Chain A
């Protein structure tokens, strides 16, 4: 049912109506459309139609086609999932979707503060809400994602200190590390300090040794780390970094901050991360926005590449206006002389996170953090009690993610295959023997018990 009655006018192209097209051509004195392409040389013209699949011209046919493809996916709506590792399943309040699906927000772009006052206010409020969560006075308009936020946060530290080396001190996701390494390559060396294999915690002796060697721009840590660990050494890392003249850059999961201290509270100079947990659907890992936050000092503000919205008076008493803070930093103003680059990134995802924080409030953020930590601990204890399973770093505090080690014959992949057959998405594979499991507030005690009971059958 791909066909429609010919001839037709495509609903997305109003001036395709033949009479209108002819009238417009006449108006501009052109014999045909070809005339407009007179500057495109014959030698590079495509002298055939593009070789594309036959279109689904009616909306009904399109819906059937795309719907058919989507039904080949099995979603976490229908399957109990214990996947985390950077993308987290949380309940998205309906009111969040209601706001961000508004056409006025979804289809706006880069208007000025007069036509798009609402966008400016909503993004300034996002910055402000994140500022409260992070206890920092400067928060950028969203960058693409947490990877970019870490890369830029580290390059900012490099520009501020003038030093070359970056120390990664807690467990880091290999994908994020790959991005950081590529992004800082022209100006920095990245030194990855392995965490203790016994505890999963930062190796402070190794950190001291590397700092003593000098030329360190930043000590980078994550809270929680890629193993889900809130490292008790996070404050010590701050002291060590600052004693050596380095900055302390901390990546954090904003969802944890109702319960876990924000990086600024234990000495971070730059906090960064991804707001995906705050009201953004997982979307196969495709909906992210990065935040970067600092104290309100000129030496920090001057190094942000991205836009920073500020509140200002207008000509009318009591009216809020908005504009760009220190715009001359940016590549929009100065091209290659600006800081890194700025372009379209992830503004609406920031607005989403703002709406989420607005409905959650301080109490909601504390309660959800407590629930997630309680569920995490409970899941760790349930699985650790099973023969054939260890939870290697159980002594440390965890948030959402935790590592599991299978000590029997079956590999992580084999166990995940068996879990899938039983309707469960098991944890993300870290190695042949280790997997990263994740629980959040969406998991009930029964869900965790069901996982434990299923694994017990598989590993025995």
Chain B
């Protein structure tokens, strides 16, 4: 038995209070590449051997000559490698994830993950007899009806794989609609705004439309006069977000829709930023013909390192014939898949959608109900305005446009003053913020707001979380003014140090795979 030294007192056992900012350091395993861990002959898993004779029908020219150069590792070593990489990654569950603005980083409930691992989801084949998949079809059907109510739209498709795929699906439906009207040759222009996600412009172009982009007016709203000048007989559609990435709700949105309708075009609402207006206002109520939600944003499905996600397209009755096929229908007794939709744009992805995320989104809405969704919106907006108050107390930052007005779900800030004063740029601040265990995002390109930073605190974070995030930004701003070198040379507490990206743009030096790296860089 150990004996205590004679001269201790309770003061010796006292642990000092935490400093105001967390002393964070990210895991840094200095982990080699998987290929460097390979040890010939090791096996990660054994597979069933054939109980029947081998097949020799493959022509010699189509038989693989050399075994693939995959690494050979025991099971533990594969697991350990990936667990180390996971520790070098900052999921929502680990951090105050308010810094990836526009991404709606919210809590993805664990119970919903359990549902999708159930064999009743995970082990279903999509071509099973409908009688054997009534439960999952009912979930899809009910989720569609709930999203129809939330958007005010008549029909919803859950087939798109993510937000941009949903934007593309809407554009494809717009194209099919005008083709059916015999107006596609004439209506070859799509109008969008610079503060809408780049995929609005890019999907429209991919689908064959010319793109017209509206810039903000002096108040930060999309320019209504520019819209009036842009619309005409060539207008197929307006693709617009509201609130835009600035967080400012466009109060003249009905007029935007009216102007487009009067020109014979369709109005399509990118609802990536819907989290703050759930139960407050709906796409259909502002006159939109189409809209889409990102289920991985507003409806809580996990972001999964960048997908799988899920998108939902909502349309008015007039656009319903063009929805992707099949649709899920209910005849009062059972649920069934309707593939007999001759006007449909066809398939957007294999089968019926990203099913695990549809199950999660369904469960999330069912856990909240109408009142809960409204509370989600209200608290997200409260959190955003609270964080804005805290952030605007920091030296060197501003919230351009609509001064003195409230924001909805997020704010696009500007560090222009700080950059002018110190030479420290928004990207530097972002890298330094990583030293405190947080994410940080600037903005999509082009940077219309100079030195941008976009924060979106959703409903998931507590007041203490928001205070901590604001304190991190305040500290980094203080450093920029007093000791800019600390910020410019960040990260200091990350897994790795600053990368040297100049080789990524040259065909001689970029290396997208291990085999390319060995060939080009190592000269093997």
* Closest A residue, CB atoms, query B364: A12
When the two chains form their complex, are residues B204 and A397 in contact, meaning their CB atoms are under 8 A apart?
A: no
The CA of A374 and the CA of B248, in the complex, are separated in Å by: 62
Known interface pairs A12-B109, A53-B366, A87-B350; A312-B78 also in contact (CB < 8 Å): no
The CA of A281 and the CA of B125, in the complex, are separated in Å by: 9
3 closest A-B pairs by beta carbon, nearest first, are A186-B208, A343-B164, A55-B369
When the two chains form their complex, are residues A147 and B350 in contact, meaning their CB atoms are under 8 A apart?
A: yes
Does A44 reach chain B (CB closer than 8 Å)? yes
Out of A66, A91, A109, A132, name the residue touching B514 (CB < 8 Å): A132
When the two chains form their complex, are residues B127 and A101 in contact, meaning their CB atoms are under 8 A apart?
A: no
Does B233 reach chain A (CB closer than 8 Å)? no
Out of B348, B349, B371, name the residue touching A49 (CB < 8 Å): B371
When the two chains form their complex, are residues B93 and A107 in contact, meaning their CB atoms are under 8 A apart?
A: yes
Within 8 A of A (CB), among B41-92: 42-55, 57-59, 61-65, 67-73, 75, 78-79, 81-92
The CA of A288 and the CA of B357, in the complex, are separated in Å by: 12
Out of B70, B79, B251, name the residue touching A362 (CB < 8 Å): B70
The CA of A69 and the CA of B351, in the complex, are separated in Å by: 20
When the two chains form their complex, are residues B296 and A344 in contact, meaning their CB atoms are under 8 A apart?
A: yes
When the two chains form their complex, are residues B499 and A321 in contact, meaning their CB atoms are under 8 A apart?
A: yes
Interface centre among B34, B306, B520 (most CB of A within 10 A): B306
Within 8 A of A (CB), among B329-364: 345-359, 362-363
When the two chains form their complex, are residues A363 and B67 in contact, meaning their CB atoms are under 8 A apart?
A: yes
Within 8 A of B (CB), among A391-423: 395-398, 416-417, 420
The CA of A62 and the CA of B385, in the complex, are separated in Å by: 32
* Closest B residue, CB atoms, query A79: B132
Known interface pairs A75-B123, A284-B351, A324-B504; A377-B514 also in contact (CB < 8 Å): no
Does B318 reach chain A (CB closer than 8 Å)? no
Question: What's the minimum C-beta distance from B308 to chain A, rounded to whole angstroms?
Answer: 5
Residues from chain B with Cβ under 8 Å of A95 in the complex: 44-45, 75, 78-79
* Closest B residue, CB atoms, query A299: B507
When the two chains form their complex, are residues A50 and B460 in contact, meaning their CB atoms are under 8 A apart?
A: no
When the two chains form their complex, are residues A313 and B251 in contact, meaning their CB atoms are under 8 A apart?
A: no
Does B282 reach chain A (CB closer than 8 Å)? yes
* Closest A residue, CB atoms, query B131: A420
Q: How large is the interface on B (under 10, 10 to 19, 20 to 34, 35 or more residues)?
A: 35 or more
Out of A73, A87, A326, name the residue touching B510 (CB < 8 Å): A326
* Closest A residue, CB atoms, query B500: A313
Interface centre among A10, A27, A53, A182 (most CB of B within 10 A): A182
Known interface pairs A341-B198, A365-B70; A319-B89 also in contact (CB < 8 Å): no
Known interface pairs A21-B379, A145-B349, A336-B201; A57-B515 also in contact (CB < 8 Å): no
When the two chains form their complex, are residues A13 and B306 in contact, meaning their CB atoms are under 8 A apart?
A: no
When the two chains form their complex, are residues A341 and B206 in contact, meaning their CB atoms are under 8 A apart?
A: yes
Residues from chain A with Cβ under 8 Å of B198 in the complex: 331-332, 335, 338, 341
Residues from chain B with Cβ under 8 Å of A220 in the complex: none
Out of B124, B498, B500, B505, name the residue touching A73 (CB < 8 Å): B124
Out of A99, A282, A376, A377, name the residue touching B124 (CB < 8 Å): A282
Out of B89, B135, B142, B494, name the residue touching A105 (CB < 8 Å): B89
Out of B86, B106, B505, name the residue touching A328 (CB < 8 Å): B505
Known interface pairs A71-B120, A359-B75; A259-B64 also in contact (CB < 8 Å): yes
Does B381 reach chain A (CB closer than 8 Å)? yes
Residues from chain B with Cβ under 8 Å of A360 in the complex: 44-45, 47, 70
The CA of A116 and the CA of B494, in the complex, are separated in Å by: 9
Question: What's the minimum C-beta distance from A178 to chain B, rounded to whole angstroms?
Answer: 4
| Selected interface stretch from A241-249, A348-356, A450-458 | A348-356
Residues from chain B with Cβ under 8 Å of A395 in the complex: 57
When the two chains form their complex, are residues A348 and B305 in contact, meaning their CB atoms are under 8 A apart?
A: yes
When the two chains form their complex, are residues A40 and B138 in contact, meaning their CB atoms are under 8 A apart?
A: no
Interface centre among B30, B309, B405 (most CB of A within 10 A): B309
Does A262 reach chain B (CB closer than 8 Å)? yes
| Selected interface stretch from B111-119, B223-231, B410-418, B478-486 | B111-119
Out of A15, A69, A420, name the residue touching B132 (CB < 8 Å): A420
Within 8 A of A (CB), among B438-468: 438-441, 444-445, 459-463
Does A175 reach chain B (CB closer than 8 Å)? yes
Question: What's the minimum C-beta distance from B252 to chain A, rounded to whole angstroms?
Answer: 8
Residues from chain A with Cβ under 8 Å of B348 in the complex: 179, 182
When the two chains form their complex, are residues A358 and B119 in contact, meaning their CB atoms are under 8 A apart?
A: no
Does A39 reach chain B (CB closer than 8 Å)? yes
When the two chains form their complex, are residues B349 and A284 in contact, meaning their CB atoms are under 8 A apart?
A: no
When the two chains form their complex, are residues B352 and A309 in contact, meaning their CB atoms are under 8 A apart?
A: no
Does B199 reach chain A (CB closer than 8 Å)? yes
Extra contacts, 13 of them, besides A176-B347, A340-B206 (Cβ < 8 A), are: A13-B459, A51-B370, A55-B371, A106-B304, A114-B434, A125-B35, A137-B513, A144-B349, A274-B350, A312-B499, A319-B497, A358-B78, A361-B73
* Closest B residue, CB atoms, query A131: B513
* Closest B residue, CB atoms, query A76: B123
The CA of A288 and the CA of B440, in the complex, are separated in Å by: 29
* Closest A residue, CB atoms, query B47: A368
Known interface pairs A132-B69, A179-B346, A374-B54; A301-B163 also in contact (CB < 8 Å): no
Out of A36, A266, A349, name the residue touching B385 (CB < 8 Å): A36
Does B395 reach chain A (CB closer than 8 Å)? no
Known interface pairs A44-B286, A445-B51; A363-B43 also in contact (CB < 8 Å): yes
A-B contact pairs, 10 of them (CB 8 A): A38-B405, A70-B115, A72-B138, A99-B82, A119-B85, A186-B206, A283-B355, A321-B498, A327-B505, A365-B70
When the two chains form their complex, are residues B121 and A284 in contact, meaning their CB atoms are under 8 A apart?
A: yes
Question: What's the minimum C-beta distance from A45 to chain B, rounded to whole angstroms?
Answer: 6
Question: What's the minimum C-beta distance from B465 to chain A, rounded to whole angstroms?
Answer: 8
> Per-residue CB proximity of A64-85 to B under 8 Å, as 1/0?
0111111111111111010101
Out of B88, B306, B459, B504, name the residue touching A345 (CB < 8 Å): B306
Within 8 A of A (CB), among B400-450: 405-408, 430-431, 434, 438-441, 444-445
Within 8 A of A (CB), among B483-504: 491, 494-501, 503-504
Does B186 reach chain A (CB closer than 8 Å)? no
When the two chains form their complex, are residues B123 and A77 in contact, meaning their CB atoms are under 8 A apart?
A: yes
The CA of A195 and the CA of B192, in the complex, are separated in Å by: 44
* Closest B residue, CB atoms, query A90: B47
Interface centre among A105, A106, A344, A416 (most CB of B within 10 A): A344
The CA of A95 and the CA of B496, in the complex, are separated in Å by: 27
Does B25 reach chain A (CB closer than 8 Å)? no
The CA of A136 and the CA of B69, in the complex, are separated in Å by: 11
| Selected interface stretch from B4-12, B14-22, B259-267, B273-281 | B273-281
When the two chains form their complex, are residues A35 and B406 in contact, meaning their CB atoms are under 8 A apart?
A: yes
When the two chains form their complex, are residues A283 and B122 in contact, meaning their CB atoms are under 8 A apart?
A: yes
Does B165 reach chain A (CB closer than 8 Å)? yes
Question: What's the minimum C-beta distance from B185 to chain A, rounded to whole angstroms?
Answer: 12
When the two chains form their complex, are residues A109 and B62 in contact, meaning their CB atoms are under 8 A apart?
A: no
